[in-house]
Structure formats: C-alpha cells, structure tokens
Amino acid sequence: MNRSSKLSDKTIVCLLVLLIFCIPISSLGQTKPNIIVFLIDDMGWQDCSVPFDQTASALNARYHTPNMEKMASQGMKFTNAYATPVCTPTRTSLLTGMNAAHHGVTNWTSPQRNNSSDNPDLDLQAVDWNMNGLSPVPNIPKTVFATPFPKLLQAAGYSTIHVGKAHWASMGTPGANPHNLGFQINIAGHAAGHPQSYLGKDNYGNLPGKASAQAVPDLEEYFGTDSFLTEALTLEALKALEQPVKNHQPFFLNMAHYAVHTPIMADKRFVQKYYDQGLDSMEARYASLVEGMDKSLGDIMQWLDQKGNASNTIIMFMSDNGGLSLKPQRGGEAHTQNLPLRAGKGSVYEGGIRVPMLVKWPGKVAANTVAKQYVMVEDFFPTILEMAGVRNPLLVQSIDGKSFLPLLKNPSLQDSSRSLIWHYPNKWIPKDGPGINYFSAIRQGNWKLVYNQRNGKKELYHLSKDLSEANDLSNSYPDKVLALSKLLSLQLKQWKAKMPVVKSTGKSLPFPDER
Amino acid sequence: MNRSSKLSDKTIVCLLVLLIFCIPISSLGQTKPNIIVFLIDDMGWQDCSVPFDQTASALNARYHTPNMEKMASQGMKFTNAYATPVCTPTRTSLLTGMNAAHHGVTNWTSPQRNNSSDNPDLDLQAVDWNMNGLSPVPNIPKTVFATPFPKLLQAAGYSTIHVGKAHWASMGTPGANPHNLGFQINIAGHAAGHPQSYLGKDNYGNLPGKASAQAVPDLEEYFGTDSFLTEALTLEALKALEQPVKNHQPFFLNMAHYAVHTPIMADKRFVQKYYDQGLDSMEARYASLVEGMDKSLGDIMQWLDQKGNASNTIIMFMSDNGGLSLKPQRGGEAHTQNLPLRAGKGSVYEGGIRVPMLVKWPGKVAANTVAKQYVMVEDFFPTILEMAGVRNPLLVQSIDGKSFLPLLKNPSLQDSSRSLIWHYPNKWIPKDGPGINYFSAIRQGNWKLVYNQRNGKKELYHLSKDLSEANDLSNSYPDKVLALSKLLSLQLKQWKAKMPVVKSTGKSLPFPDER
C-alpha cells in the first residue's frame, strides 16, 4: 500500500516550500531558548545572602535573598563579574557589546538633551562625551550609533520585551524610547535613571504639578494602590510574557528593575524585620528594596515553572554597577557598604565595578557551580547572540565583549591574558572620592592598575591576594605598572577615548603611558 | 516518473500535520485583512472638506482634508453615522459592542479613580454610573466587565496596536492600561482624555513640576523638538506597523488621535493660511489641528501603498462625538460649529452625536459610494470581528451592535425598523445646554425622539425633512411620541440603565414612558 503516490510531485514540493516558510515563526518545536536578563540598579557585590566572596560576610547575613540563593544553587555564580562605575555606560555596553571607553557614553545621561551630567571642576573642563547616550540611527549629535542586540533578536524571531529602567539616551533622541532599540514592548522605561517614587500611592511620581522627569511611565493601573514599583513591574513583565509563551515564540526579557537605586524607600512587605534588627533606618529600607527585588526574581522563576518554561529559559542576574557608598544617601560610614571591596558606585575600585552575577540554564549550565574567570558587561552581547543562534550579525559597531558561553559549559576555563578596561573621564560627584572622578583602570590576570587622570598617580594591586585594594604595589613592580600603563593607553587610544582637558592649558590630560 | 512515491505515508502525514500547526501564525498567505480604526477626538460632522450633508457647506469650504477626500473617493461615506455625546462612552462602546446605556459608562471617566466627572446639580443627585470605565477583569468597582475585541483579534493571530488617546478607564484600575484590553503595543494611551500640550517643545506636558494627569506618555524621543503631537503619533504608529507588515502578520491599529480635542493649539505646519483667511484665531488653530489629523491619514495611506499593503488593509475613519460647540472653548457663536446640525459635543441633538465616517477596503468596498443607513459606534465590534473572520467569540457581555459588513457590500440596504439609543443621565457642563445634561434620545427610521430627563419634555423630529431639529412635531404626532417613548423605555429598562435621582424625594426620575 502506497497512498503517498497519490500526491503529485508538485503538491509535495508545495508542501515543502510552505513548510520552509512556516518554520521560522512557527509555534512548533521552539528550539531557541528564552533569555531573561535580570538587571538590578546600584546593587553591590555584598547586597545579598549569596556570598560572592570566598566566605560569607556580615552583609551576606544581613540581606535576605532566598531566590538568588536558589538560582545560585541551580546555576553558576560568577565571582569576578564587572560592570562600569555608573549606570548608563553599563547599559550601553550591555546593548552594544562595546566597552564604555569605546562607545563614549562614559557617564550617566541626563534626561535633558545636550546636558552633561558632569559636575563642574575648577581645573578641568568637562570632556566631550556622548552625553545623549545610545542611538540606533546615525547622525544624532553626541550619541554612539550602534546596533542594539534586541533588534537582532527580534529579527531572529524573538519577542523582545523591556520592563523597568531604560536610561539609554536623553529625551529628544531616538534612544530615549526602548522601542527604537529593538524592544517590541516597553513598560516603564524612558530617559530617566531612577524612579521619582516607588509607591503606587504616589503614582510613582506622577502627581499633578509634582511630577519630575523621573516620574515612572506606563503604570497608571497601579496608581493610588499599595503596589510597590518592584511588584508592579514584575506583574507587568509576566503579563507581557503571556503571549510569546502561549505562542511558543522565544522571548527576550530585559527585566531591569529600578530597585535598588535611590530614593531608598521602604518596601513595606519586607522592611519591618530589618527595623526590628535595629538596623540604621536607611539601611533597613535598603535591605527591603533588595528583598523586594529578590521576590521579583522568585516570582518570575515560579511563573516559568508553572508555565513549563523553566527548562528552556536562561536567566542572567546582574547589577549595573557597585553599591552606592556615599553619605548621607546611604546609612553607616561612607564607602563601607561593599566591604571587603573598596569604595562603591562611581569608583573604579572593586566596590564600584564588581557586581553579583548568576546564570541559570537548566540542562546546559551545571548546578551549583562557580566561575572565577573575570567577565564584563559587554560580554553579554556576544553571549546572548550565541545563545539565540544569531551568527554573523550585521553590526554598525565593532564589539569588544567576548562570549562567556564556553565558561558556562566549563567554569574552570581560565584566561589571565585578557584585559578589562574602565575609563571614567568624568566628574560624577562634586568632591573627588576613592577612585571616583577622572579615573581609568585595567585588569589583566590578577593585576589591576588604577590611574588617576587628574594627578597622574598610578596604583597597582594584586586582586587575589588583596581583594580590598589596600596595598599599592606600584613601587615594588614598576615593570608591571609600565606594561599595564602601555596596554591601557594603547587600547584607550585605539578606541579614541577622551581625556579631560586642563582649563589653563587647553590640553588633554595625558594617557597613563605618557607620564 | 513519480518521485512522490519515494516519500512514505508517514512523511506526508507529518508534513500535513506540521502545516496545520504552522498556518495559523504563518507568514504565508495572509488571508486576514489588516484593519485600521482611525478615530478622531471631538471632530464634528462638518469639520472637513468632505461634505457629509447632501450639499457642501461653508464649513466644508473652510477645512482642508484632502486625504479624507481621497479616502471617500476610494471607499464609502456614511452620512448617518453616530457616536455618543462624549468620548469614553463611545470608546467603551467601540471596544465592547455595547450601547452606552447598557455598559453604564455614560460619561467621560476621570483619570482619578472613584471620581465622577459629573458636575454638581442643585436638584439632582449624580447617577451611580460606571465612573471607573471599562475593565477586562471582573469585580473592579464601578466598571463594566467586558471582553474587548482586541483580545479576540490578538487570539486570532492579529498584531494589535493602540496609538494615541485611550481613556477607557481610571488610574488604579486595569482598564487604564491598553495592554490589558488586548493591545500588544500601546503608545501614548492612558487614563487621560486630552493632551496637556500638543507641542514637543512642551514635552507634551511632561515639564518637571508642571505635568498634569494629561501629560502624554511614551514620546520622550520627541521632547524638546518641533514635532507636533499628531505627527509624533503617526511616526510611532508607522514604526509599530513595520514588524507585522514585515512578518506578513495581520494587524489591527487603533489610531486614536488626541486631535482635535482641546487645548486647541496651532499646528504650525498648517495654521498660517487659516490666519491669512481672517478666521477667528481659535478657529484658525482648530482648522490646523484638523488638517494635521488629515495629514496623518494621508501619511498612513501613503505608507501602506509603499509597503504594498494598501489593497489588504481596511481603514475606518470615525470621530468619537460631535464637534465641540461651547464658548469660549471654540470661536464664533456657541452651538453654530456643526451647522446645519443642532448643538455639539455633549448633546443628544445631531450636532453632538452625528459624526464623519468613511470606510476604505480596496476590492471589497466600491469606490465613491455613499451609505445612508444609520449605524452606530457599537456596530464596529461585530463588523471588525466579521472582517477578521472571528466567529462565535467567547464574550462576557451581550452585544448591541450590528455588523455593517452587509452595508459595505451593498450601500443601498435600508433598515428603518432598527432603533438607535442615546442615554446621558449625567451632567456634563455646569449650565444645561441644548440637548446637554440629563437627556435620552432614540432614532427609528427618520423619526427621533429627544427626552429631557429633568423636566420630562419630549421632542419629536423628522430627520430627513428637518436635519437641524428645528421643528418639534411632538404635538402633531402624539402616537409616534408614545411609541418611541415606549421603545426607548423598554430598551433602557432591559439594559438596567440608570436615571438621575431627585435629591428632595430620593427617587429616580421617570423613564420616558412613565410621564
């Protein structure tokens, strides 16, 4: 019996052709994994109950992040993951695969166009940086023109969703709107870098006559309610995922919480136990922000489980810079909030740039593993494209990141020849702090060179022996200082990185190898 | 030669099964038409250069809407199309298929929850209407729970996009967010009913410390630019259409302009010629708002042409109520702006409810045709579902609208037995106006009964002989008054429509058949 012979050649060719056209957006056989970047704002390396150091600290004991613990137990912990010292440079690196010194968005972008967020300085002129942020189209003044990876994911059949803080570009430029960066759905993302309020009762800032540029958009259904911003964003994210999950369409979710950035407001669901512990009230509120963020992570993992999608979903947890360590914005003594790491947000010392990072990918990433190899935020770009099977994408930029997919498969891989670079030719706060305002740095292997652009001072640290960057070894290892200075300068010049200009001479400050 | 016999039965069955699963969301052979509802806010029946009356008027000569003319020449003009007297009731009827007396959202919704927009009255108590608007989920106080058709279109494979004014529900309720009503993409729609400003230079209202609940969301990329709101919305709509068009996915676009609602601000691209004509300056600005809206229509039609999608796209042009006719909000004498129609927005007289309507559907709707049969906004619901091939949808509401698809195929169809009903048991403005505040009305054939709820007065008009509702025939045709009173009352009672309550007695005002 051969009924197939009843079908003509033509019919079968037609069927096959139809199939070929169908499959790319078909609901059948979703082979591409779902990808979630769970990005926290201003969360320090110690701001959780998962120890990223070799031993658990007092801070790890203070914070309650059971869902991060669960995620770590199910996946890989990166103990040497880096971001840039402040948010927009990190977010731009994430979306473009470029180092901040290369994309030139070296400071946080003001909501207002052509408005540098740099503080004025007596001696130095503000550097001419890309103060309007990232642009997906060319010829927008003071922006970096680049191809954001969500555009590529979208073209590859992904449903692309941004929820929460965007802060990629200033108002009046295309990058202000996440839609233009490749996100089909944008919830609550705009030009601002923090929420005016976390409270539904405050309409997240949208009170008539009181709204600032930081009033959070898109959440009117929660106005006047008790929904904390972190919770509202989570609910909206899950709502947005309903459709791709139903259609078996792969999704990319950029779950970019406004938490735990200032204003440090109590998340009522969690704050009482921190008050009860006798914590400084600011720090109690901060801990509640952290726990609310962790609950969001748990809710999303639970939802994926319920939908049967957990096994095909990669979650990558990351913070956009180190924990804030300024007084009076934080409680306790200044620059102690990330101990044993030195300093905090804004600094090129480890406290400003080393961040918690976790990756969960059932079946692909072994449970309860630890990767010690250093990685950096621009590495997400090639990693995510590789995860999504996007090969040889058409990009307008050359990328600096390196896929950490091999590391996910084998966490023992080591590469001590790679160099990571930080470059911050800007003035973040009015008064210079430790590693804060006009600094560059380079890490290669366990060596790290810190370069003070203003006074030319170079410090050298050995990170595995001196995580706290307490012992400057520059005098003992002049050759290492020289080598790293050269490597750093070479790379900065290749990227056409800017240096601040001395007002009195009109000349740029020298690169590290020039003095 | 029969190569097909090389394929086994199993293979072919597999291919067929795969195809069956593929086709619903396949990019091939898009058989469902794209659908655009192009909804204008507060545009009157005479506010264009297309005459909707039998002869062109002075107002038709004043306005320049060449793209509406083009659309009319390519499709069908409805000369007896109706909305409700104000916006939210119309928008709710559009999305639910229910008459306003049935859904109970009889007045415009305040952005603030549980806040009736009704003006206070000395004698009458505000009616207990659904002041929080439309809800897609049950048990939200003071809302109508209904299934909005975009949810059904989305389930049927449509890409569903809302751009512009939403105004379906108050902040703090799910309906405030168009996402919850079935729109996958929402641009600039929220709980407010008008824009704070049409100007990019004003950030559409989002100026720190000055923003009201009417500040337009989502358009930060145009902040500080010269982009007029109408233009920005059009650009964003076309951007949102790129993807479904590229994927050959059918789309539904609710292009709901904020224009031509107050604040009546000049669209600089067009206003000068109206000033030059010596028009009252308010009316010159108004005409520029109208022309800017028309340009948007033209831009969308042109874009569809360029993309090769015009032939498979239905466009339905409609306004949400009659033209505003109050002084000093409009120039000229009060209630003359919609002549020959009586009164304007807020009124149950024709000026408040009869609106311009055009439908273009190449190959399906004959060019340059006119339909005189009366239709109403709730008719869009079954019409759109029929166009999209959605049969027997699961609805939580019973619908009142009637598909006008037969009319699109044959504009000479007539049904003079159908009755249309308006019910406005609310106080729109502080001082009663012509047909404004506490009125109901019914049209059957050419007869129209107008019922003043406050004083019980009934007026009867014959619309084909007396379009301006100038000659009250109630004394001459008492039987007609009686019959229409009964019909109106019966229907209102069936829908459990509310009547205002007399403060002194605590009793509801009588239905028209009760006095």
The complex's ipTM?
0.81
Contact B185 A180 (CB under 8 A): no
What is the pLDDT at residue A3? 42
Give long-range contacts, CB 8 A cutoff, 24+ apart: A60-63. A62/A277, A62/A279, A62/A283, A62/A287, A63/A287, A63/A290, A63/A291
Interacting residues of A112 by C-beta distance below 8 A, sequence separation 6+:
A170, A171, A213, B224
Check A172 against B225: CB less than 8 A apart.
yes
Could you give the CA distance from residue A345 to residue A353 in angstroms, rounded to a whole number?
7
Residue of A nearest to B174 (CA): A221
Of A461, A10, A98, whose CA–CA distance to B3 is shortest? Answer: A10
Residue A441, helix vs strand vs coil: strand
How many Å apart are CA A377 and CA B156, to the nearest integer? 40
Question: Considering only CA atoms, which of B515, B324, B511 is closest in space to residue B423?
Answer: B511
Q: Which helix (H) or strand (E) holds A354?
A: strand A354-360
- Cα radius of gyration (chain A): 23
Query: Hey, which residues does B275 pair with through a beta bridge?
Result: none
Q: Which residue of A has its CA nearest to B140?
A: A221
Q: Which two tokens stand for residue B357?
A: 């309507």
**Which residues, at least 6 apart from A56, have a Cβ–Cβ distance to it below 8 Å?**
none
Region A463-489 average pLDDT: 98
Please, what are the domains in chain B?
Answer: 30-415 (3.40.720.10)
DSSP class of B113: T
C-beta of residue B208 within 8 angstroms of C-beta of residue B169? no
**pLDDT at residue A30, rounded to an integer:** 77
pLDDT of residue B30: 78
pLDDT at A289 over 60: yes
Question: Which of A132, A223, A225 to probe the B interface (max B CBs under 10 A)?
Answer: A223
Please measure the distance between the N-terminal and C-terminal CA atoms of chain A and give it in whole angstroms: 87
**CB contact B215 to A (< 8 Å):** yes
Residue length, chain B?
515
List, as one string, the DSSP characters of A173-204: SGGGSGGGGT-SEEES--S-SS-S-SBGGGGG
The SS3 of residue A423 is: strand
The structure tokens listed for B85 are 């007297």
Asked whether the beta carbons of residue B11 and residue A4 sit closer than 8 angstroms, the reply is yes
DSSP-derived secondary structure for B307-373: TT-GGGEEEEEEESSPPP--TTTSSSSTT-TTTTS-S-TTBSSHHHHEEEEEEE-TTTS-TTEEE-S
Task: Give the strand pairing for A369-371 and A354-360.
Answer: unpaired
Check residue B31 and give its pLDDT. Answer: 87
What is the token pair recorded at B334? 């009060």
Asked whether the beta carbons of B200 and B228 are under 8 A apart, the reply is: yes
> For B333, phi and psi rounded to 5 degrees?
-75, 145
What is the pLDDT, as a whole number, of residue B11?
A: 52
What are the average pLDDT values for consecutive 10-residue runs of chain B, which has 515 residues? 46 49 47 97 98 97 98 98 98 98 98 96 95 97 98 97 98 97 96 98 94 96 97 98 95 98 98 96 97 98 97 98 96 96 98 98 98 98 98 96 98 97 98 98 98 98 98 98 98 97 96 94
Rounded to the nearest 10 degrees, the angle between the axes of helix A87-96 and helix A380-387 is: 40
Give tens-digit pLDDT for A416-429.
999 999 999 999 99
- Percent of chain A past pLDDT 70, that is, above it, reads 94
State CA B408 to chain mean position distance.
Answer: 18
On the question of pLDDT at A2 being above 90, the answer is no
Give me B393's structure tokens: 């949808």
pTM for this entry = 0.88
> Which residue, chain included where needed, has tokens 């990693």?
A383
Contact A18 B19 (CB under 8 A): yes
Length of chain A: 515
Q: Do A239 and B179 touch (CB under 8 A)?
A: yes
Q: Which two tokens stand for residue A77?
A: 């912990």
Structure confidence at residue B10 (pLDDT): 53
What's the order of all strands across the beta sheet hosting A419-424?
A419-424, A439-444, A447-452, A458-462
Peptide bond before residue B37 is cis, with ω within 30 degrees of 0:
no
Nearest to A4 among B1, B8, B175 (CB): B8
Mark yes or no for CB contact A221/B113 under 8 Å: no
pLDDT of residue B20: 44
Residue A85 contacts residue A348 (beta carbons within 8 Å): yes
Nearest to B218 by CA among B247, B179, B252, B245: B179
* pLDDT of amino acid B265: 98
pLDDT digits (tens, 9 = 90+) for A337-353: 999 999 999 999 999 99
Residues ≥6 apart with Cβ < 8 Å to B491 = B101, B419, B421, B442
Closest-CA distance, B429 to chain A, in angstroms, reads 23
d(CA A438, CA B90): 59
CA distance B211 to chain A (A): 5
SS3 A207: coil
**For residue A515, what pLDDT is reported?**
86
For chain B, the first-to-last Cα distance in angstroms comes to: 86
For residue B8, the model assigns a pLDDT of 53
Percentages (nearest 5) of helix, strand, coil residues in chain A = 30, 15, 50
